[in-house]
């Protein structure tokens, strides 16, 4: 006999860890101890820093889980349209500090942990960066998530949970890059929640069945995959600043359908028994470490399909949960393709609509185009994805058939306007016949989307007028510009608390943290001596932190006060021209060596920092790292130079290292060959922190000049329009013959072996002397002249700090809040949907 009546009703049990229940420090302490003892489990006697970090993080996770449930419930009730951002990479950086700040709980956690003998600041340092991205594209996605939550936009991020993130870099004894696996999941990552209830089967390979639909008598198709894997959801909850809205970043990991083949196991084939599991796990095992170059590997293609198939399945599931029909998809979700990596979402959605939802082609195509939009992040030809038709047909036969159908229907229209013997049709075909038959993924993304955007003004113009010119003429309203931006929460408020405090006290409000345009009010303080002194003191404070780090990590002594910190941090790439930077360092070094003691006294002391990883297969980039390290060794150990000049290569660049470097920078270098850097986003972060820019007329540098004033940026070199002519001249006359003597001399010194075995660097030198594709020779003199200008300006502190303050005052426009508002209005058609404030304690301080 049943003692208690069993009945199904809504759960009304109070959650003991509810954020609405206690965030006074005593309560936080209880929550921390609870997790320490029950989740880890440790005990109060073994209360070490790492355990404290984990336990503290779990208390944050509890809060975020609760808030995210409330958020989803509210969005569902309101049936608001949401943005779904699909990106193969997210470079999130550390989570804990960001969450504590966004939840406005810093002081309470400080107090709670102090009672246990820990400084919150040290606990933050226990966290490892999850490095699920390569560079700018992944970091941009992370900034967008912060803004979307902060401004209460209903939004989801979708990506992959790689077992191994971007490799860890160290520098070997010969100055070479050494790569080590990033085993970031060896310890628990407390901010990610495995969602065991959400497991989606994903098919590959197989065949297509053709049949006649009884109702319409039309031909229908059905794909029968021959292999399946499972997509398992892992959710990272994204808190907004000063709001209860908490969005979700859903990362898929791949599991096998069957863990172990028992038949094989029974027959003693132990290796074979696990084969299927290993194959499946492989799909989300490793992040491909290339930036701005495609990895044409089958496994990479599988990753891309796995990501979009799981994501679309999830979006449609959530649509149907709201009891809405498939016709409402474009009003339910705006799906943004972050570059071409998720482009297979287009044929995948079409397949679902045609083969599973039984829509007509016209209906399905209309829904598809209205759902998707595509962002391009690069114009480098080696980064534009093209996949062999053969590979697609084998892995995804139905999708290949659909791509051919899309192409056929699209080209029917093009043929009508093609007056030139099929030339235009050939150029615009989604399928290219070159060394192989290839699908042009960018073309497919353009045709299948309603909007296509570039990431800075100049970049969008290049897309419209050069790279996608024919498409722009055909679809004139499809192309829009949305210049990138960065989140001021992480990139000023959190990473530079002193500057944040000074700005807040000066403006008598912290409104700037979520509306960065308020920074313009700093203009009136730019020439104020007292304010300049405070501003400069904060820079010095941040430089001292970096100075200490360099001593601790590299055991190198560098100066700080009156020494200019000149920093270039980004992936190592020929177009980013770290090589030009190090050649200029060699030049500066020999200039000093020629000086007498009197002249030396007048030299502006400088430390040149470079950090960044090279793709493991990119041998030229690896040579550049090696050269930098050889040059650094010679200069730093030359007693004639002393502390006048140092060159420091900082290994293992990461988001966390950037948070240390950016606030400590006097001048940062963004010196790409014009037309090559789509936008750049670190340039924005430096300006925000009062760093000045030494840069070319490229990417977002141009917009920084517009907004902060041309006179506050150290710009040099030619425009992107002039580049082809210079390149052509290099080809015709030979770059060596056009190279300035100063640079010829430097190459000569390298050839003499001053910086190690010349054979090592032969390839780099030959490129510069031969074609010099990135026009280093052409730009070298303007570059070193502008560097001189930087150094002489630094000797005039009033002028320098005025430029620095004005730069920051003009950077309101560089906030990702502005960027997302543009996406929301121009592309997605979504609106903020703030949760009503209930008993929440989360008020802005
Ligand atoms: C970067 N691209 C651009 N790609 O180079 C940079 O100018 C821009 O600011 C940034 O995007 C954001 O728009 C970039 O980071 C990648 O790393 C890809 C990752 C996946 C493989 C291909 C390159």
Q: pLDDT digits over 546-558, tens only? A: 999 999 999 999 9
How many angstroms is it from 293 CA to the middle of ligand 1?
9
| Sheet strands (E) in 23-154 | 82-86
Residues 638-682: pLDDT tens digits? Answer: 999 999 999 999 999 999 999 999 999 999 999 999 999 999 999
Q: Is 438 helix (H, G, I), strand (E, B) or coil?
A: strand
Rounded to an integer, the average pLDDT of 802-818 is 97
Q: Measured in angstroms, how far is the CA atom of residue 377 from the centroid of ligand 1?
A: 6
Phi, psi for residue 527 in degrees, rounded to 5:
-100, 0
Q: Which residue ranges does the chain devote to CATH 3.40.50.2000? A: 82-91+133-481, 491-720+741-757+779-814
Q: 140 CB under 6 A from ligand 1? A: yes
675 in ligand 1 pocket by Cβ < 6 Å?
no
Q: What is the model's pLDDT at position 11?
A: 56
Model pLDDT, residue 843: 43
Overall average pLDDT of the 2-11 stretch: 74
Q: CB under 8 Å to 286, separation ≥6 — which residues?
A: 162, 163, 164
Q: Is 216 a catalytic residue?
A: no
Cis peptide before 41 (omega within 30 of 0): yes
Rounded CA-CA distance 586/756 in Å is 13
Closest ligand 1 atom to Cα of 677: 7
Pick from 188, 128, 189, 133: which is nearest to 157 by CA?
A: 133
Residue whose pair of structure tokens reads 């910190």 in the numeric block: 565
Among candidate residues 63, 341, 570, 646, the one labeled active-site is 570
Helix (H) / strand (E) containing 212: strand 207-212
Mean pLDDT to the nearest integer, 412-435:
94
CA pair distance 131, 655, nearest whole angstrom? 8
Residue having the nearest C-alpha atom to atom 17 of ligand 1: 291
Name the β-bridge partners of 208: 223
Q: What is the DSSP letter of 642?
A: G
**Residue 686: CB partners within 8 Å, gap ≥ 6?**
567, 662, 665, 668, 692, 693
| Contacting residues for 729 by C-beta, under 8 A, at least 6 apart | 738
Q: How far is the CA of 705 from the centre of ligand 1 (A)?
A: 22
- Could you give the CA distance from residue 537 to residue 614 in angstroms, rounded to a whole number? 35
End-to-end CA distance of the chain: 57
Lowest mean pLDDT among 31-35, 262-266, 335-339, 532-536: 262-266
Q: How far is CA 601 from CA 592, 596, 605, 761, 786, in A?
A: 10, 9, 9, 34, 21
Answer yes or no: is the C-beta of 377 below 6 A from any ligand 1 atom: yes
- DSSP state letter for 468: T
Mutate to test the pocket of ligand 1, among 135, 575, 675, 684 (most ligand atoms within 8 A of CB): 135
- Average pLDDT for residues 311-334, to the nearest whole number? 98
Under 8 Å CB-to-CB from 771, ≥6 apart: which residues? Answer: 727, 730, 731, 735
Q: Whose CA is nearest to atom 19 of ligand 1?
A: 291
Q: In the numeric block, which tokens belong to residue 300?
A: 């990479």
Quote the mean pLDDT of the chain. Answer: 95
Q: 286-303 in b/e burial notation, b at 16+ Cβ within 10 A? A: bbbbbbbebeeeeebbbb
The lowest-confidence range among 23-32, 93-102, 452-461, 747-756 is: 23-32
d(CA 632, CA 621): 17
What is the per-residue pLDDT for 482?
A: 98
Lowest-pLDDT range, 66-70, 477-481, 612-616? 66-70
Residue nearest to atom 11 of ligand 1 (CA): 137
pLDDT digits (tens, 9 = 90+) for 270-301: 889 888 888 888 999 999 998 777 777 999 99
**Number of Cβ within a 10 Å radius of residue 321:** 9
Out of 451, 472, 685, 842, the active site residue is 685
Nearest to 488 by CA among 511, 508, 506: 511
Q: Annotated catalytic, 30?
A: no
**Å from CA of 289 to ligand 1 middle:** 12
Predicted confidence (pLDDT) per residue in 223-247, tens digit? 999 999 999 999 999 999 999 999 9
Give the residue, 351 or 434, on which the prediction is more confident. Answer: 351
C-alpha span between 385 and 439 (Å, rounded): 8
DSSP 8-state secondary structure symbol assigned to residue 352: I
Quick check: 169 and 651 in contact, CB under 8 A? yes
680 lines ligand 1 (CB under 6 A): yes
Determine whether 44 is an active site residue.
no
Look up tokens 């002519």; give the residue: 725
Phi, psi (5° rounding) for residue 203? -95, 155
Calpha distance 189→826 (Å, rounded): 36
- Which pLDDT belongs to residue 295? 76
Ligand 1 site, residue 376, Cβ cutoff 6 A: no
- Residue 130 per-residue DSSP state: P
Decide whether any atom of ligand 1 lies within 6 Å of the 456 Cβ: no
For 671-740, the three-class secondary structure string (H helix, E strand, C coil) is: CCCCCCCCCCCHHHHHHHCCCEEEECCCCCHHHHHHHHCHHHCEECCCCHHHHHHHHHHHHHHCHHHHCC
Q: Would you place residue 845 in the very low, low, confident or very high pLDDT band (cuts 50, 70, 90)?
A: very low
Are the CB atoms for 166 and 181 separated by under 8 Å?
A: no
Distance CA 154, CA 248 (A): 10
Give 291 Cα–ligand 1 centroid separation in angstroms.
6
Q: What is the mean pLDDT of residues 420-440?
A: 94
Rounded CA separation 295/388 (Å): 13
User: How many whole angstroms from 733 Cα to the centroid of ligand 1?
Assistant: 33
Q: Which residues pair with 539 in a beta bridge?
A: none
User: Which helix or strand (DSSP H or E) is residue 497 part of?
Assistant: helix 497-507
* pLDDT tens digits for range 176-206: 999 999 999 999 999 999 999 999 999 999 9
Confidence (pLDDT) at 844:
40
pLDDT bin (cut points 50, 70, 90) of residue 14 is: very low
| Any atom of ligand 1 within 6 Å of the Cβ of 700 | no
**What is the CB-side half-sphere exposure of residue 384 using CA atoms within 13 A?**
18
H or E element that contains 221:
strand 219-224
C-alpha of residue 184 to centroid of ligand 1, in Å: 23
- Whether the pLDDT of residue 710 is over 80: the answer is yes
3-state secondary structure of 617: coil
Pocket of ligand 1, candidates 90, 338, 378: which has the most ligand atoms within 8 Å of its Cβ, to mutate?
A: 378
Q: How many Cβ atoms sit within 10 Å of the Cβ of residue 749?
A: 14
Closest C-alpha residue for ligand 1 atom 14? 137
* Better pLDDT: 683 or 13: 683
Q: Other CB atoms closer than 10 Å to residue 363's CB: what's the count?
A: 15
Out of 1.10.10.10, 3.40.50.2000, 3.40.47.10, 2.40.110.10, which CATH number does the structure's domain 491-720+741-757+779-814 have? 3.40.50.2000
Q: How far apart are CA 122 and CA 110, in angstroms?
A: 11
Quick one: CA dihedral 820, 822, 823, 828, positive or negative? positive
Indicate the pairing of strand 714-715 with strand 692-695.
parallel
Give the tens place of pLDDT for each residue, 621-633: 999 999 999 999 9
Check: CB of residue 616 under 8 Å from CB of residue 576: no
- Using pLDDT thresholds of 50, 70 and 90, give the confidence band for residue 12: low
Is the pLDDT at 103 greater than 50, yes or no?
yes
User: What is residue 13's DSSP assignment?
Assistant: P
Q: Answer yes or no: are the C-beta atoms of 223 and 215 closer than 8 Å.
A: no
With contact defined as beta carbons under 8 Å apart, do 86 and 336 qualify? yes
The alpha-helical segments, DSSP class H, found in 192-297 are 262-266, 270-283
Tell me the residue length of the chain: 845
Nearest Cα neighbor of 175 from 768, 575, 761, 576 is: 761
User: Which homologous superfamily is 82-91+133-481 in?
Assistant: Glycogen Phosphorylase B; (3.40.50.2000)
Q: Answer for the pair 715, 755: CB distance below 8 angstroms, yes or no.
A: no
Which segments of 429-552 are extended strands (E)?
431-433, 437-440, 451-454, 479-481
Give 402's DSSP letter: H
Distance CA 746, CA 363 (A): 64
Q: What does the pLDDT read at residue 22?
A: 66
Residue 563 has pLDDT above 70, yes or no: yes
Is 613 known to be catalytic?
A: no
Question: What separation in angstroms does the CA of 92 have from each of 40, 159, 165, 287, 432?
Answer: 24, 12, 12, 14, 36
Phi/psi of residue 552, nearest 5 degrees: -70, -45
- Ligand 1 geometric centre to CA of 720 (Å): 19
Give me the interface pTM, i.e. the ipTM.
0.98
Tokens in use for 552? 């601790």
CA 187/CA 286 separation, integer angstroms: 17
Best of 85, 134, 137, 680 to mutate for ligand 1, by most ligand atoms within 8 A of CB?
Answer: 137
Q: What is the pLDDT of residues 570-610, one digit of tens each?
A: 999 999 999 999 999 999 999 999 999 999 999 999 999 99
pLDDT value at residue 6: 82
What does pTM read for this prediction?
A: 0.97
DSSP string, 809-843: HGGGGGBHHHHHHHIIIIII-----PPPP-S----
Model confidence at 265, pLDDT cuts 50, 70, 90, reads confident
């Amino acid at each position: 006999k049943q003692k208690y009546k069993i009945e199904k009703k809504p759960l009304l049990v109070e959650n003991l860890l509810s954020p609405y229940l206690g965030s006074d420090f005593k309560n936080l302490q209880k929550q921390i101890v609870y997790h320490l003892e029950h989740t880890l489990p440790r005990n109060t006697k073994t209360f070490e820093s790492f355990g404290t970090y984990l336990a503290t993080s779990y208390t944050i996770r509890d809060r975020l889980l609760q808030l995210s449930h409330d958020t989803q419930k509210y969005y569902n009730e309101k049936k608001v349209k949401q943005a779904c951002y699909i990106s193969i990479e997210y470079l999130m950086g550390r989570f804990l500090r960001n969450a504590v700040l966004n939840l406005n709980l810093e002081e309470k956690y400080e107090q709670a942990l102090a009672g246990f003998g820990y400084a919150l600041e040290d606990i933050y340092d226990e966290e490892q960066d999850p490095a699920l991205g390569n560079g700018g594209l992944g970091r941009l996605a992370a900034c967008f998530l912060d803004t979307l939550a902060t401004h209460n936009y209903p939004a989801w991020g979708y990506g992959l949970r790689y077992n191994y993130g971007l490799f860890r870099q160290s520098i070997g004894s010969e100055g070479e890059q050494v790569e080590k696996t990033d085993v970031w999941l060896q310890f628990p990552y407390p901010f990610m929640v495995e969602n065991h209830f959400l497991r989606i089967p994903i098919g590959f390979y197989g065949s297509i069945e053709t049949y006649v639909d009884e109702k319409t008598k039309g031909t229908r198709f059905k794909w029968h995959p021959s292999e399946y894997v499972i997509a398992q959801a892992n959710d990272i909850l994204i808190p907004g600043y000063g709001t209860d809205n908490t969005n979700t970043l859903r990362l898929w990991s791949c599991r096998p359908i069957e863990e172990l083949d028992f038949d094989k196991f029974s027959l003693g084939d132990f290796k074979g028994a696990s084969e299927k599991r290993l194959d499946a796990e492989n799909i989300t095992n490793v992040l491909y470490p290339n930036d701005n170059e495609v990895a044409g590997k089958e496994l990479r293609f599988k990753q891309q399909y796995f990501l979009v198939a799981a994501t679309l399945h999830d979006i449609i599931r959530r649509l149907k949960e709201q009891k809405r029909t498939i016709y409402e998809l474009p009003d339910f979700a705006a799906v943004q393709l972050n570059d071409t990596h998720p482009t297979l979402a287009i044929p995948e959605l079409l397949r679902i609509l045609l083969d599973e939802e039984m829509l007509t082609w016209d209906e399905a195509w209309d829904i598809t185009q209205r759902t998707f939009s595509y962002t391009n992040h690069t114009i480098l030809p080696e980064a534009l994805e093209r996949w062999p038709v053969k590979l697609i047909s084998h892995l995804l036969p139905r999708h290949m058939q659909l791509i051919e159908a899309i192409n056929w229907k699209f080209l029917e229209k093009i043929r009508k306007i093609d007056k030139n013997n099929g030339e235009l049709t050939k150029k615009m075909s989604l399928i290219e016949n070159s060394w192989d038959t290839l699908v042009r993924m960018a073309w497919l993304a353009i045709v299948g989307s309603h909007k296509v955007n570039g990431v800075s003004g100049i970049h969008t113009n290049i897309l419209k007028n050069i790279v996608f010119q024919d498409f722009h003429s055909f679809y004139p309203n499809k192309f829009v510009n949305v210049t990138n931006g960065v989140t001021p929460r992480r990139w000023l408020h959190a990473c530079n608390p002193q500057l944040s405090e000074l700005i807040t006290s000066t403006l008598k409000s912290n409104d700037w943290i979520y509306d960065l345009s308020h920074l313009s009010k700093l203009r009136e303080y730019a020439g104020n001596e007292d304010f300049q002194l405070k501003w400069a003191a904060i820079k010095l404070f941040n430089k001292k932190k970096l100075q200490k780090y360099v001593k601790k990590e590299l055991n190198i002594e560098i100066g700080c006060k009156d020494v200019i910190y000149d920093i270039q941090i980004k992936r190592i790439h020929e177009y980013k021209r770290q090589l030009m930077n190090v050649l200029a360092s060699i030049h500066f070094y020999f200039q000093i060596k020629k000086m007498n003691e009197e002249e030396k006294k007048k030299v502006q002391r400088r430390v040149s920092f470079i950090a960044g990883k090279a793709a493991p297969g990119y041998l030229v980039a690896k040579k550049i790292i090696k050269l930098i390290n050889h040059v650094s060794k010679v200069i730093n150990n030359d007693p004639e130079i002393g502390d006048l000049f140092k060159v420091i290569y900082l290994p293992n660049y990461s988001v966390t290292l950037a948070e240390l470097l950016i606030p400590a920078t006097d001048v940062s270098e963004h010196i790409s060959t014009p037309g090559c850097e789509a936008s750049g986003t670190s340039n924005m972060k430096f300006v925000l922190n009062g760093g000045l820019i030494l840069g070319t007329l490229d990417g977002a540098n141009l917009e920084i000049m517009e907004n902060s004033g041309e006179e506050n940026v150290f710009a040099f070199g030619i425009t992107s329009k002039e580049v082809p002519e210079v390149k052509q001249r290099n080809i015709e006359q030979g770059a060596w013959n056009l190279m300035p003597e100063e640079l010829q001399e430097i190459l000569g010194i390298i050839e003499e072996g001053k910086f190690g075995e010349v054979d090592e660097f032969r390839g780099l030198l030959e490129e510069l002397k031969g074609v010099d594709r990135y026009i280093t020779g052409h730009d070298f003199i303007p570059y070193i002249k502008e560097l001189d200008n930087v150094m002489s300006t630094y000797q005039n502190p009033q002028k320098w700090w005025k430029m620095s303050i004005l730069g920051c005052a003009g950077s309101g426009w560089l906030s990702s809040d502005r960027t997302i508002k543009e996406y929301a209005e121009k592309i997605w058609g979504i609106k903020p949907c703030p949760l009503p404030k209930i008993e929440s304690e989360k008020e802005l301080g």
